[in-house]
Amino acid sequence: MERFLKDFDVDPSEEARTRWRSAVTIVKNRRRRFRNITDLGKRAKAEKNKREIQEKIRVALYVQKAAIHFIDGMVVKERLFRIIGPLSFVLSMINLCLSAAAGRAEYKLSEETREAGFSIHPDELASIVRGHDIKGLKIHGGVEGIARKVSVSLNHGVSTVDLPTRQKIYGFNRYTEKPSRAFLMFVWDAFQDLTLIILTVCAVVSIGVGLPTEGWPKGMYDGLGIILSIFLVVMVTAISDYKQALQFKDLDKEKKKIFTQVTRDEKRKKVSIYDLVVGDIVHLSIGDLVPADGVYILGYSLLIDESSLTGETEPVNIYEEKPFLLSGTKVQDGSGKMLVTAVGMRTEWGKLMETLIEGGEDETPLQVKLNGVATLIGKIGLIFAVLTFVVLIGRYLVEKALNHEFADWSSSDALTILNYFATAITIIVVAVPEGLPLAVTLSLAFAMKKLMDERALVRHLSACETMGSASCICTDKTGTLTTNHMVVDKIWISEKSIEVKGNVSEDILKSDLSGRVLGILLQAIFQNTSSTVDKDESGRNTIFGSPTESALLEFGMLLGGNFDAQRREFKILKVQPFNSDRKKMSVLVALPDGGVRAFCKGASEIVLRMCDKVVDCNGGSVPLPKEQAKNITDVINGFASEALRTLCLAFIDLETTSDESSIPDDGYTLIAVVGIKDPVRLGVKDAVQTCLAAGITVRMVTGDNINTAKAIARECGILTEDGVAIEGRELRSMSPEQMKDTIPRIQVMARSLPMDKHTLVTQLRKMFGEVVAVTGDGTNDAPALREADIGLSMGIAGTEVAKESADVIILDDNFATIVNVAKWGRSVYINIQKFVQFQLTVNIVALVLNFVCACISGSAPLTAVQLLWVNMIMDTLGALALATEPPNDGLMKRSPVGRNVSFITKAMWRNIIGQSIYQLAVLAVLNFDGKQLLKLSGSDASDTLNTLIFNSFVFCQVFNEINSRDIEKINIFRGMFGSWIFLGVMVCTVTFQVIIVEFLGTLASTVPLSWELWLLSVLLGSVSVPLAVILKCIPVERDITKHHDGYVALPTGEALA
């Protein structure tokens, strides 16, 4: 079948997606089939609108800058001329001059705003930031003046009791969203099925012809039966789709849980970005999204990426003279505080979001493939339906001609032809497996909901599916394999190593260290940090910052240091924040008695290379000879081999007092080497072993010291005897040939830069064809997360930029959760395979049975109503039963599915063909020799036989649905009684089948059956279970995925038991 599906190759390009959608020709209900898929036309239009808005924002910024220069008598830059053109440029300058002459737009302050204590109009406040109006800001008194006008203290922040008033006057920080669809809309979508509409017309015509011909109420039965069946199909479909929509809505709510840090009620707090109000003091750090428009208060080296808003790739420096921050932009470097001036739809980001509310995602690889399968089978079904109708009409006309009745036509003839047409249309209903691609959505929605309960938020549908094929996981160490609850465990200072153990260590350190040494150590800890210490409501110290810095601050407070006192005593002049490229943080401070001192902390070997002196036991700086540097290196390696994270603290005194002084990169004095303990998470080793058993290679990629990384990797079971541990610089220096030889054996990469991770991921995918999952938490991890097949961001330690680039957010930062995502991904894949096997069997049997019987006997044994019921069993109910089965541990004992492996396997074809042959044989015997074999006689013999055929056919599907629970294993009942959805569908199917046969005979063309015939129907259906055992013993060639690292799939013989 694969060679017929070339138009459905998975390709992420827009042209490919347009091509394959046009190839999906046989679609009964295009509206429902593509409901959760992005409308390519609308998306293109939205992208065009986005670009237009970005261009307007960009031009407005350039015009504003040009106007300021123009009014101040400066020459307008050439760049503006290029962007808006000569004529537009001249006109804009004239308008600016007129605007300047006429004065600023006046905003009338409402009485409500005055009474609330505010003295600036919301639109005026929003326009200052939106237009980068630096003069307007100065007219209002700068950021302090704006703060006064919105009644807020820059130190204390907004009062919680004022929040409702501020939201009423200045608005909520929410954007226009697409309204939720009501249940009736799903009913309407379900009824848009073309075949159901045609059948409805046929039913109405049948009633119209039947009433005058056969009278009331008999003339109603055929048409009414079809209408009721259509109603049942529509309602079951709508309920299923509506529940899916609710699941996606819950997931969307989780995606919107973004928090930021603010100062409120004189305390630093975490709040949802949607609860921000004008006047809030927001704290920004690397990787944060700017949550609203605002004005810069203070900060250090604040660098903002405005590309999402303006399209400009060059980051913008934010400082006092350039203080405007726009919502939706990202903090690329540095840190700072801002005053919120506009929220929600008063921001440009809000207006931009309004153009992008068109929902849906791109098709997942499985949806693309299954749309192809559905189209191919639909075409075959259409041919069979046309042939069936032609054969039935042909036989009918021949019979009339032989009986010399060709010229004699009545309404009963019209009714017969109409029934033939309805049967042909119903064959199309059954033949087109509309449920195949929709079952993927159902299964993914179910898996995403379950993963949410297991602390994994799937942001993109395709990620859950792709994770099932992952053959390699490149994972961070800190917070993923370890707990991220860090404490200082050892410290080397004054040429001594001291083990830190609570209050006992405090006394030892204070007795062993001189006052000067302790003082310089506390300065290095409290001055060179981006974290803060605040009091919570109970008066206890609360640290806001990264786990590493929190461990150092806790250690400093353990030694009796006072964070606030230290910060008041020294003035910070300049900060170089830590990032994964520099691997160090530096700060320049003014000393209380004059002079300037720089502090540096970071990766131990990097900081040690910057030092040429060391603090002695008296607190003085003495030269650091090479011999002693080597001894310190041994100390660092000793700490690292105990799985401790090592940092060096250093300082340098400078002569200059200028605020603009650059922070030096050498000449430092080493203060201490700190060893921080970060314990391995419970269950990580088992999770790693599970991955290895599943054919998934685990590689640790970390910025830590190589000895620390190797110690942790051994503890987790990642690093084996034949594995390789390297540093990032080694990978950077390798040739392509060396990479090809080394990369398969890499299990640990330490001291890696973000680009090293990106290189590793790229080579694994392109050089070795791996399906790669990669974890990341920092801003600079975004390229690797986007390059990987599945990007996994950390929910606790991860920055908002990393989360935005990821496909899955691991909410508890736990490696074991990543393994659960892989397990559910495999479950989705195998569940869809089960459903495809089941549905194709029903398709083949229904098509061939009706066509052959029509050709031979001139009538189809299954009526339109019966086929609609069969369609619901195999489509909606079948998908619900098989596509939502939870994963079992056996899924993680097989190798991952390769990129180009055929979805419909040889084992599936074996089962489909074997079961189809059995069902067709049984039903054919009943149809042609049933009366003689069962000794049926009397006027209702034909009706009884047809009912028995219908009943046997349904029970064959019921037992085959149970068979489909496992494609290869014999024990199909394992775990069945734990799947309440599967059991519920089975019970409902059997119950309703009894009702149809015994009580709805006039509508469904059935008659009540004796208990013997009921037993026969069940027995004929149940034979498919032992038949499945026999079929599974027939050997078929397996598709074995070969791994470049020599992994061999575990033996599966025991699985057949």
d(CA 949, CA 931): 11
Note if 564 is an active site residue: no
d(CA 247, CA 239): 12
Q: Is residue 54 a contact partner of residue 356, using CB atoms and an 8 Å limit?
A: no
Sequence-separated (6 or more) residues with CB below 8 Å from residue 596: 573, 588, 589, 590, 653, 654, 655, 656, 657, 661
d(CA 10, CA 24): 14
The angle formed by the CA atoms of residues 320, 323 and 326, to the nearest 5 degrees, is 165
Q: Is residue 167 a contact partner of residue 277, using CB atoms and an 8 Å limit?
A: yes
Q: Is residue 516 a contact partner of residue 619, using CB atoms and an 8 Å limit?
A: yes
Which residue's entry shows tokens 């069969």? Answer: 870
Nearest to 967 by CA among 909, 1015, 1013: 909
In this structure, the dihedral spanned by the alpha carbons of residues 904, 907, 909 and 915, taken in order and rounded to 10 degrees, is: -130
Instruction: Compute CA distances 4 → 377, 838, 913, whole Å.
Output: 11, 21, 19
Q: 158: which DSSP letter? A: B
Give the tokens for residue 238: 């709508």
Secondary-structure percent of the chain, ordered helix, strand, coil, rounded to 5: 55, 15, 30
d(CA 895, CA 563): 54
d(CA 890, CA 423): 43
Q: Is residue 502 a contact partner of residue 508, using CB atoms and an 8 Å limit?
A: no
d(CA 392, CA 417): 9
* Three-state secondary structure readout of 673-692: EEEEECCECCCHHHHHHHHH
Q: 5: which DSSP letter? A: G
Give the tokens for residue 639: 């700490």
* Catalytic member of 222, 305, 333, 476: 476
Burial of 664 (0-12, 13-18, 19+ CB in 10 A): middle
d(CA 604, CA 704): 9
d(CA 897, CA 466): 10
d(CA 303, CA 129): 17
Give the tokens for residue 130: 């939106």
Q: Is residue 326 a contact partner of residue 293, using CB atoms and an 8 Å limit?
A: yes
Dihedral of CA 927/933/936/937: which sign?
positive
d(CA 814, CA 300): 32
Relative to beta strand 808-810, strand 790-794 is parallel
Q: Is residue 924 helix, strand or coil? A: helix
The angle formed by the CA atoms of residues 39, 40 and 45, to the nearest 5 degrees, is 100
Q: Which residues are catalytic?
A: 476
